[in-house]
Amino acid sequence: MPENPAGTLTAPEKPAKQKPGGTLYRGREGMWSWVLHRITGVAIYFFLLVHILDTSLVRVSPEAYNAVIGTYQTPIMGLGEVALVGAIVFHAFNGLRIILVDFWSWATRNQKVLFYVVIALWVLTMLAFVPRHLINVFSH
């Protein structure tokens, strides 16, 4: 045992704490921003399909359009609109973060910081939107 000089027996060092999950990749800010970007993107895509169709009803008749748009004004859909706007705002700010990471070396090195900037901007935007929207939804 060349590490241990003769006569000095030391207790083995505590083994490094085993992290759970073994080799499973557990990403950090970069992975979670990617996951959220996908989920919000898919959600917005399917809303867009529906939204083009419901708006097209203006070409059918005023009654048909008003009947469908009236369902957007119920309390449950009002909460759904909060989720939709939340998804859009995250996708928008994180998309701008992706562009910065692609084109600007400082942003590439600091992509983790920029993820928290995206979260902060999302919180600020939602603070501006949600109270006003919920008052509109629930005051009728």
Partner 1 sequence: MTVIDSPRTPARPARRSGVNLEKWGWVYMRASGVLLVVLIFGHLFVNLMVGEGVHAIDFGFVGGKWADPFWQWWDVLMLWLALIHGTNGMRTLVNDYTNPGMVQKVLKGALLVSAVVLLVLGTLVVFTFEPCPAGAPADLLPSFCPAA
Binding partner 1 (rule: CB under 8 A), the pick from 34, 112, 116, 132 is 132
Q: With contact defined as beta carbons under 8 Å apart, do 89 and 126 qualify?
A: yes
Per-residue contact flags (x/-) with partner 1 for residues 27 to 46, judged by CB under 8 A: -----------x--xx-xx-
- At 50, which helix (H) or strand (E)? helix 29-56
Q: Which two tokens stand for residue 5?
A: 């000089």
Using CB under 8 A, which of 27, 31, 71, 73 touches partner 1?
A: 73
Q: Which of 29, 79, 121, 133 binds partner 1 (CB under 8 A)?
A: 133
Q: Which CB sits closer to partner 1, 20 or 39?
A: 39
Is the Cβ of residue 17 or residue 59 nearer to partner 1 in the bound state? Answer: 59
CB 136 within 8 A of CB 100: no
Contact 87, 43 (CB under 8 A): yes
Nearest to 96 by CA among 106, 107, 83, 84: 107
CB 13 → partner 1: shortest distance, Å?
A: 36
Return all residues near 125 (Cβ < 8 A) that are at least 6 apart: 89, 93
Element (H, E) at 113: helix 111-138
Encoding tokens for residue 87?
């998804």
Closer residue to partner 1, CB minimum distance, 64 or 110: 64
Residues that bind partner 1 (CB under 8 A): 38, 41-42, 44-45, 48-49, 52-53, 55-56, 58-59, 61-63, 65-66, 69, 72-73, 78, 81, 85, 88, 92, 95-96, 98-99, 102, 129, 132-133, 136-137, 140
